[in-house]
Structure 1
Amino acid sequence: MKKYDYVLVGSGLYAGVWAYEAKKRGKTCLVVEKRDHIGGNVYCEDVEGIHVHRYGAHIFHTSDRQVWDYVNHLAEFNRYTNSPVANYKGEMYNMPFNMNTFSKMWGISTPAEAKAIIEEQKKAVAGEPKNLEEQAISLVGTDIYQKLVKGYTEKQWGRDCKDLPAFIIRRLPVRFTYDNNYFNDLYQGIPIGGYNVIINKLFEGCDIETGVDYLEHREHYDALGETVVYTGTIDAYYQYQFGKLEYRSLRFESEVLNEENHQGVAVVNYTDRETPYTRVIEHKHFEFGTQPKTVITREYPADWKEGMEAYYPVNDEKNQALYQQYAALAEKEDHVIFGGRLAEYKYYDMDKVIASALKRTAECMGE
């Protein structure tokens, strides 16, 4: 008889849901986390009474009623609506692209005028789009592409839009209404008190070890649990035997400013190529804060190298083929379950991670 039913490797939302569902069924869990805190990328720090999203902006949104009910019984959510703005060399535009954006850019006021301009500009691309630049122009025209898509995307991916595959932006959200709500989902908000409220609930009653790399002590931890739930990078689990999967990474620079309101909105995207960061987050606006000071974070995209945090999988054909080789090995495991963004090499929104974990726990433990 092993000491634990489950050894959870990592402590993000996937492992958290697993822990919570296991405990409901009277099972025991050990959590092994490489960082010095639990919570994965949704972890918040308290700075000047503000909940700072340490690993970038996390805005919860979903149309899945089951998931929305699930997170709401863990924490109360506020009514935050994601309405970022774009700064192009000092010109401010609303996101996603909507009538406010078009009115500012072209001095027009009706959907018909906006559609006519975009249709005319789309003619710059003849035939099937061959790269991201052509794909973007065929969706939103040349003006919006040049000012609001090109620089941001090139910074994000570290290469020219002409060298990026078209599929990355198969759809850009375009609305011919005066609506700045970024998401189309039915529900959105931020947990009151920050995401740690949810994380602490999910892992309550677990034994937790932080600052430990499971892969360096695999035999020790495998011996402690009946089943391992692994949420780290899948290629690292298999010691890169087929080669390394590619990721994009991020670097964050935060500072406390002695002012009450720095930018008037939680997220500003910097869409010119020259500004080195992609966006600036002012955390207090996620919770309508009125503190005397404010905390901002600049987000810089970076090429991922081993040892860095992996944020975005590079889901091109080469990497997908490589991932499938690792996934085939994972399928054959009897006592290891792979789940979450890194183990499934997938760009997952938070609600999809939770839904995936709920589905898998129900399959493995019964309803």
Structure 2
Amino acid sequence: MNQKKKYDYLIVGAGLFGAVFAYRANKAGKKCLIIDKRSHIGGNVYCENINGINVHKYGAHIFHTSNKIVWDFVNSIVDFNRYTNSPIAIYKDQLYNLPFNMNTFYAMWHTKTPESTLAVLESQRKDALDALEGRTPDNLEEQAMALVGKDIYEILIKGYTEKQWGRPCNELPAFIIKRLPVRFTFDNNYFSDKYQGIPVGGYNVLVERLLSGIETKLNCNFFDNRLELEQIAEKIVYTGPIDEYFNFAFGRLEYRTVSFEMEELSCPNYQGNAVVNYTDIEIPYTRIIEHKHFEMFGDDVYSVKSTVISKEFSTEWSPGMEPYYPINDERNTRLFAKYKSMASDNDNVIFGGRLADYRYYDMDVVIWNALNAKI
């Protein structure tokens, strides 16, 4: 007769998937232990408080969704503020609103009506399509110009994308840009989702409340004590890299990664916006995040006399670096399918989250998947 194990679930990773799963399991009366190799909970949504400013330690995280179930769930844990993502792009000292909308086109072409803007766009699209001579775009550069024309591509896409991927656009696959939204309205809201905001007090509040009353061990690497940890729970919820779980049996999956240069400045308002993209290839970073603008609005910005900015750099990933963005090319897609097949054969392990699924997820999708995982 098998002896009952100490925990119903060992949850590897205290990010959003692990925290939401643990919350649900705890509510269902299950005993959980959640571990994380980092010194904090929250995964990549973790915020570091610097002089009253919640700094998004692993890059900007802006919650948005059209899923009312997910929105109601997170708001049942913590209130969300009114933050609306309206990024700015800078190219050779000229400012442009994102996403591409009438404000963008006025700055670029001085067109004032949808009709005049569409005429310019269609002319440039036609030039790009004529250059293709009837064939399908072979690379990202051709795909982008066929969608939005030469000016938008060269000013707002080319440099930023090449910095992101570390390769010329004419060497990147066309499928990376399947569509580029163009709005013929003066609307700077980047997302079209119905709900949007940042947790009041930062993401740490959300994760701390999800894990309230649940045993948590930090600085605990699953792979350092794997044999012991696998014996203490009936089931494992694993949110780390799927290839590492299977000891890289078929080889390593590949990623892009990002690094950050953080500065605390003595001025109260550095750039007037949370997100400013730098699309000029000569500038090495892709964007600057000014963190206080995620949670401070209007005159509140000046209630804290300093500010914190992060310059974001996209770089090649190598083992030991933080994996951020999956490279979903033919090789990695084929490799992941092999690992996914192995995972499907394992009834005692639940795989979830961006690393275990080898997929870039918006936060609402991670939470939705965790809400629907079988307990």
TM-score by structure 2 length? 0.95
1:157 aligns with 2:142: no
Aligned to 2:340: 327
- Mapped to 2, the partners of 1:270 and 1:333 lie a distance apart of 45
Tell me which of 124, 130, 153 is aligned to 2:128.
124
Q: CA deviation at 1:32?
A: 1.3
- Mapped to 2, the partners of 1:282 and 1:10 lie a distance apart of 28
Aligned to 1:139: 147
Tell me which of 49, 54, 58 is aligned to 2:52.
49
Deviations 1:268-324 (A, max 9, x none): 000011111101000000012431100000110111111111000001121111100
Q: CA deviation at 1:341?
A: 0.2
Aligned to 1:215: 223
Q: CA deviation at 1:124?
A: 2.0
Q: CA deviation at 1:216?
A: 2.1
What SS is found at the alignment partner of 2:199? coil
1:316 aligns with 2:319: no
Deviations 1:330-361 (A, max 9, x none): 0011211100000000110000000011111x
Task: In structure 2, list runs of 5 or more residues that go unmatched.
Answer: none
Q: What percentage of aligned pairs have identical amino acids?
A: 58
State how many pairs are aligned.
362
What SS is found at the alignment partner of 2:77? coil
Q: CA deviation at 1:203?
A: 1.1
Aligned to 1:351: 364
Q: CA deviation at 1:118?
A: 1.1
- What amino acid does structure 1 have at the position aligned with 2:123? E
Deviations 1:207-262 (A, max 9, x none): 11111210121111111111110000000111111011110001011110000100
What SS is found at the alignment partner of 1:15? helix
Aligned to 1:70: 73
- What amino acid does structure 2 have at the position aligned with 1:105? M
What pairs with 1:8-87 in structure 2 (closer than 5 Å)?
8-87=11-90
- What amino acid does structure 1 have at the position aligned with 2:251? G
- Mapped to 2, the partners of 1:307 and 1:25 lie a distance apart of 37
TM-score by structure 1 length? 0.97
- What amino acid does structure 2 have at the position aligned with 1:51? N
- What amino acid does structure 1 have at the position aligned with 2:110? G
Tell me which of 246, 249, 258 is aligned to 2:254.
246
What SS is found at the alignment partner of 1:14? helix
- What amino acid does structure 1 have at the position aligned with 2:144? A
Deviations 1:124-162 (A, max 9, x none): 232321110011111111001001000000000110101
- Mapped to 2, the partners of 1:317 and 1:205 lie a distance apart of 44
What pairs with 1:284-323 in structure 2 (closer than 5 Å)?
284-288=292-296, 289-290=301-302, 291-323=304-336
Runs of 4+ in 1 over 6 A off after TM superposition: none
Aligned to 1:90: 93
Please provide the CA RMSD for this pair: 0.8
What SS is found at the alignment partner of 1:183? coil
Task: In structure 1, list runs of 5 or more residues that go unmatched.
Answer: none
- Mapped to 2, the partners of 1:339 and 1:308 lie a distance apart of 21
Deviations 1:26-53 (A, max 9, x none): 1111111011111000000100100100
